[in-house]
Structure 1
Amino acid sequence: MKRVNVLTEGAILLALFTVLTLMTLYLPLIGAFLMVFLPLPFILYSVRHGIKAAVTLMAASILITLLVGSLFALPLTLTYAISGIVMGYFYKKKQTSGALIGGTIAFLISFVVMYAASAAFFQIDPIKEATGSMDETIEMARSMMAAIGQEANEAAINQIEEQMKYIGYLIPSVLVSVSFIFALLSHAATIPVLKRLKIQVVPLKPFREWKLPTSIVWYYLIVSFLLFFDLENDSFLFIAVLNLMFVLQVLLVVQGFSFIFFYSYVKKYSKALPVAAIILSLILPILMYIVRILGIIDLAFNLRGRVKK
């Protein structure tokens, strides 16, 4: 009887995943929103019945994907299935932070494999395609301005071209950041469902209580010092330092936003205030620098302790 229930639940979750996959593939606008729910069937099955059952569900989902979708939909299934199984394993172990870390690593490995496969088998490099499109857009803008008798702002164009060169160097950092965002969104979509099914999940600390190790500030200072040296652009050291700087800057910005939420909570301000701070920082990049500095001060000088006093 128990085996019948397991198979029945597996069939329901497989049907759910199939519907979500089809909507993601053929309804782009709705699909972009539904993508965060794709790991959910595998998370639920892994939490309730273990990894072996979840792997079986993944095998069945691969067959269904090939039947109703196409070969190009297979990477989508594998990415979300593997990530869902990994996250479900940690949820079952009552390790919510482990689910986020494990999900991030699973997404990262999947993205790296897909990137390598597209470059090796299909001769498609997404980064080069993106930079190529940008170059074409810049040349088109130059031509249009020349046609109407105006001179292009060469200083601004050169700055954009210089920034585009660094995109290829920052691939590792970008992939890590995107993987974490995907894991975080999957977590946010999964938790309400698990609670609804009365599956106990250890909650994460509130964002206002997030605090990184103080050593992050020292790493940031060391990496900033290394950037003062004239490093060769294509060297391993230059790429490593550039990626470390990007990751550290993101971490310090997260720390700064965490402090804003903490300060707002202590002062009993409206919850809309820290949310507005995030939105404004995304619109006005200069505010992001201020938030980063705030994160540095919070870590280096225990700003939270001073606020409490």
Structure 2
Amino acid sequence: MPSKTKQLAENALLLGIALVLLFVSTYTVAGVVTSLLLPLPFVLLGMRRTMSSTIWIVVVFAFLGGVFTGIVSALMALTVALWGAVMGQMYAKRGSALAAITAGAAVVFLGYVAILALSTYIFGLDLNEMMKRAAEYKPPFMPQEQFDQGMQLVKMGMPAFLVMMSFIQSGITHGISRLVGKRMRLSVPALPPLRDWSFPRSLLYYYFISMMALLFMGNDLEGTFWTSAVLNVKVMLDVILTLQGLAFCFFSIHLYNRKALAPVLIVSLFIFPPLTTILSLLGIFDLGVNLRKRLETRVKRG
């Protein structure tokens, strides 16, 4: 079979699989699972085709998605297709899992913003009205003032939540791509082990600046753009420092060869969520005074 004919057949097959997954994700309860698989055909296309040919397939998929499932689903189809295609291109050109996940997360986040804008300005979705409806589900034991403050924080922290969800979804896609890539003998790069993760030390400055701003200027900035901006930065930095602390714990477990403690730590995080505060503090100390190097030096000295 000629090479171009084979490529066209593969393109048609992957496009057909993507359309079936889109239809199932839109109209059935199985969409909870199939939506996670939806970017995968475009990851494979992005790895094996040029960017220009991949874009044409993305456009065709978005058009057919709009015909079969409607405008909103077409926008979702476009986002998902671009998300997978960009990750595939990053795998092929950069050979870096982190670069692919970050690029995929950026596309997902922009897709969220586009869908929210479309829902607000075209379909008349009112977030404030949705918040008022959510007030109907307030637990009886919770004071009204505390509930209102919580809802306000949720509203203000929405950008940080969307960013984190974008990275989680992109990370899940990366994991699925790795599994499928092994089966198809495709080279999908792996992330470094969690114990080797380390973020720039400069994040500590941003963390303490945002914390001081919230502590000393919170009342003056209440309800403004700056309050929301500082809060979202603080939330994302909290997550990063928690990951830094978790990486330090895995580094210590590896250093002392106590592998059995790793699953215990992960399970404990789900059972005792306040442990994330301790991990965040560990992350701060790890970045601030280089705990890993000190610990490694101590172990080598015996």
Normalised to the residue count of structure 2, the TM-score between the two structures is 0.90
Deviations 1:167-204 (A, max 9, x none): 12112211111111111111111112223222223322
Q: Which residue of 1 aligns with 2:50?
A: 50
Mapped to 1, the partners of 2:70 and 2:267 lie a distance apart of 38
Q: Residue 131 of structure 2 corresponds to which residue in structure 1? A: 131
Q: Which runs of 4+ in 1 moved over 6 A?
A: none
What's 2:187 paired with?
Answer: 200
Output the amino acid matched with 1:201.
Answer: V
Percent of aligned pairs with the same residue?
29
- In the alignment, the residues of structure 2 paired with residue 185 and residue 225 of structure 1 have an alpha-carbon distance, to the nearest angstrom, of 34
Change (3 A) 1:282 1:231: farther
Matched, 1:163 2:150: yes
Alpha-carbon deviation of 1:2?
A: 1.4
Aligned residues of 1:45 and 1:53 also touching (Cα < 8 A):
no
Q: What residue identity is the alignment partner of 2:227?
A: F
The residue that corresponds to 1:239 in the other structure is 228
Match in the other structure for 1:26? 27
CA distance in 1, matches of 2:88, 2:96: 10
**How many residues of Structure 1 are paired with residues of Structure 2 in the alignment?**
293
Structure 1 residues 123 and 275: CA distance shift in structure 2, 3 A: farther
Give the match for residue 263 of structure 1: 252
Distance 2:171 2:50 in 1: 22
Q: Which moved more, 1:2-11 or 1:257-266?
A: 257-266
Matches within 5 A, 1:39-78: 39-78=39-78
Taking the aligned partners of 1:88 and 1:204, their CA distance within structure 2 comes to: 15
Per-residue Cα deviation, 1:116-135 (whole angstroms, up to 9, x for no partner): 1111111114x435522321
Q: Is the 8 A contact 2:177 2:188 kept in 1?
A: no
Q: Indicate the SS of the match to 1:285.
A: coil
- Which of 258, 273, 284 lines up with 2:272 in the alignment? 284
Superposition deviation, residue 33 in structure 1: 2.1
Amino acid at match of 1:218: Y
Distance 1:153 1:191, change over 3 A: closer
Amino acid at match of 1:287: L
Q: Deviations over 1:140-165 (max 9, x none)?
A: x55xxxxxxxxx553xx422221111
Q: Where do 5+ consecutive residues of structure 2 fail to align?
A: none
Q: 1:239 to 1:63 in 2, by over 3 A?
A: closer
* Distance in 2 separating the partners of 1:39 and 1:233: 40
1:257–1:278 Cα contact (<8 Å) kept: no
Q: 2:178, 2:189 within 8 Å by CA — same for their partners in 1?
A: no
Q: Quick one: distance in 2 between partners of 1:171 and 1:158?
A: 20
Match of 1:147 in 2: none
What's 1:14 paired with? 15
Corresponding position of 1:80: 80
CA contact (8 A) 2:156 2:232 kept: yes
Indicate the larger mover: 99-108 or 199-208. Answer: 199-208
Q: Is the 8 A contact 2:195 2:247 kept in 1?
A: yes
For 1:130 and 1:278, locate their aligned partners in 2 and report how far apart those are by CA, in whole Å. 35
SS in 1 for 2:220: coil
Aligned to 1:295: 283
Specify whether residues 283 and 233 from structure 1 end up closer, same or farther in structure 2 by C-alpha distance, changes over 3 A only.
farther
Unaligned segments of structure 1, at least 5 residues = 143-151
Query: Does the residue aligned with 2:221 lie in a helix, a strand or coil?
Result: coil
Per-residue CA distance 1:71-110 (angstroms, 9 max, x = gap): 3321221111011111111111123221111111111111
What amino acid sits opposite 1:246 in the alignment? V
Aligned-pair Cα RMSD in Å: 1.9
Quick check: 1:46–1:88 contact (8 Å CA) kept in 2?
Answer: yes
Cα distance in structure 2, aligned partners of 1:96 and 1:121? 37
| Aligned-partner Cα distance in 2 for 1:231–1:251 | 27
TM-score normalised by L of structure 1: 0.88
